[in-house]
Amino acid sequence: MKKNQPKQLTLLLSLFALLSVFYFTTGFTVVGHRGDPINAPEETFQSFDTAFSEGANYVELDLHRSQDGVLVISHDRNLQRVTGQGVIVSQMPFGQLQKLHSANGEPIHSLDELFAHYQNQPNTKFLLETKKTKSGNPKDMEALITAAVKKYHMENRVMIHSFSLESLRQMQTLLPNVPRIFIVGSLKRINFDALQYVTGINISSELVTPQLVDQLHYLGKQVYIWDEMTEKQQSWNKIVNLPIDGVVTNYPAVGASYQQSKDDARIRNIDEAVTLVSNHRVPTYENPYRTELTQAPLKPFQIVKATQVVNLGAQTYYQIGENRFVSADALNNADDLLYNINYLNKTLRLKPETSMQVAYHSPLYPQQTSGLIFPNQNYRIQAVRRIANTLWFKLASGWIQGDKVLVDFNNQGHNNDFALNLFLHEHNDQRPNNVDLLASLPSLTHLKVSTAKKQSSTVSQQLTSFCPSSQMSTILYPLTTNLNIKG
C-alpha cells in the first residue's frame, strides 16, 4: 500500500480484511490499448483490426473535440507525435484534421467514422476515453458521445472510462446502461463519493493488489488494470494471477492467450497449511499457465500456506505465495505429515493375487497413465499423497493407489514392531490397507497378549497363533480383508 493511502480507504481495507470476503472470478476482458500499438500505428483501423484478430474483446481509444464539434480519435491533443504536424485538435475543424495522416497512411478518424466502419461487425467493441481539461472542457463531449452511440446503435458495444469523475457522472445520466470505469493513478481517488457514479475502477498496475481487487468486488465494482505505453510483456506473467475483470494492454495477443488458459481453469480459494511429502524438491512457477516460468523450488516437509487451487486440464496447482504456484500432486495437509512421512523411501510390491497395474501421471487425475507396475517386484516410494482416506504412492513409473500394494517397513531403519504398531493403533475401519504384516512376522511371535486383547477376540486369536512360514501368506492376508481390517 502506498504511504498516501487515504484514511477512509484504510478503514475500508481493514473492514473487509476482517470480513474475509471470498469473491472470485476466473475470466477477464482483454482490451487492446489504442488497438495494438506495437504492431500498427496507434488508434488507426489497422491497429484496431490487428488487436481484434489477436483476440481482443475491446479496443481502447481516446476522444478529443475538434473546433467544429466533431469527436476526433487521438490520444494527444497535439497531433505532432502521430502525424508529424504540430496541430491542436481543438483549434482546427475536422475537415482540415482529416488531411493529416498516421505513419501507415490512414487519415485521422472521427468517432462517427469508427462506428460506421465497424457497425456490421458485432464482435468489435470499444472502450472510449473522454479527454477533458481540468476545467471540464469540452462541456458537450458526453452529449456528442451519446448521440453517436444512439445513431449507430452501439449501446451494447461500448464502455466509457475517464480520469474525469464529472464526465462519468454525466454519462450515468445520459447512457445509464453503458459501463462507466473510473481511471485512477492514485488510491486517493477511490472513495465512496466516486464509487456511486461508476461501475468499475481502472487501476494503475503499480497500485493493484489482490486484496484491493477483492474489496472492490465486494462493493460490486469491476476492476480493470492499465499500464503506460512502456508496459512490458513480462508483466502479464503476474497480472494473470489477479482476480481482475479486464486489462487494458499493449499486448492483446498475450492477453488473449492467458485469457483462454484462465477460462479453461477451475479456480477456488482455500486457506490450508500444506507440506510436500517427497524425497526431492519440486519446482514452483510464477503462474500455473506457463510452467517454463520457474521460481525457487519447494523443499520437502516445508509447511506453506495454500490460498488458491487451480485445476487446469489434468493438473492441479496450489498457490503458496504471491505469484508462486506448485503442483498439488505430492502436497498434503500439514496435519498428516508425521503419518505420511512413515511411507517415504520405503519399498512396496503389489498385493498377492494382484495382476499387473498401471501407474498414473497424477493421483488427482487417475486417467492419464505413465507406466506399468509388475507383480513380484519391489518399488521405492518417492512421494506420498493422501486424498480423503486414501493414500497414493509415487514410484519411478508414476502414481499408484495404496490399497493395491503392500509396504515393507521391516528393513528400512525400523524395528520389527513398527509396521504392526502402525497397523494396530488405528480403529478397525481406519487401518491402513497397505502395511506388509508378513514382513513383520518376527514381531507377531512376540506380541503381548495384553495388546492383542484390545482387538476383537478373533483378531487376538489369529495374531497370536503361530504357524509355519509357508502358510503365513494364506493366513495373514485373508485376516486383513475378512475381519474388517484392511490390509
**Pick among 3.40.50.300, 3.20.20.190, 3.40.50.1100, 3.40.50.2000: CATH of 7-263:** 3.20.20.190
* pLDDT per position as a tens digit, 337-374: 988 998 999 999 999 888 999 999 999 999 999 999 99
Phi first, then psi, for residue 157 (nearest 5°) are: -125, 15
* Residues 332 and 386 sit within 8 Å (Cβ to Cβ): yes
The total number of residues written for the chain in this structure: 487
**Pick among 2.30.30.170, 3.90.45.10, 2.40.30.30, 3.30.460.80: CATH of 266-335:** 2.30.30.170
Higher-confidence residue of 426 and 339: namely: 339
Stretch among 284-288, 387-391, 410-414 having the lowest mean pLDDT: 410-414
- Residue 390 pLDDT greater than 50, yes or no: yes
- For the chain, first and last CA: distance in Å? 55
Sequence letter at residue 147: A
* pLDDT per position as a tens digit, 19-43: 333 334 457 999 999 999 999 999 9
At residue 235 the predicted structure's pLDDT band, cuts being 50, 70 and 90, is confident
Sequence letter at residue 340: N
Phi first, then psi, for residue 99 (nearest 5°) are: -80, -10
Phi first, then psi, for residue 464 (nearest 5°) are: -95, 0
Residue 204 pairs in a beta bridge with 226
Going from N- to C-terminal start, the domains of the chain cover 7-263, 266-335
The structure's pTM equals: 0.78
Residue 140 CB coordination number (10 Å): 12
* pLDDT per position as a tens digit, 259-317: 999 999 999 999 999 999 999 999 999 999 999 999 999 999 999 999 999 999 899 99
* pLDDT per position as a tens digit, 87-108: 999 999 999 999 999 999 999 9
Mean pLDDT of 176-184: 97
pLDDT of residue 419: 55
Comparing CA positions, the residue from 150, 148, 137 lying closest to residue 61 is 148
Q: Which three cell numbers stand for residue 30?
A: 482483454
* Residues 248 and 31 sit within 8 Å (Cβ to Cβ): yes
Comparing CA positions, the residue from 264, 253, 179, 272 lying closest to residue 223 is 179
Comparing CA positions, the residue from 470, 474, 412 lying closest to residue 440 is 412
Mean pLDDT of 315-328: 96
Looking at residue 81, the DSSP 8-state letter turns out to be: H
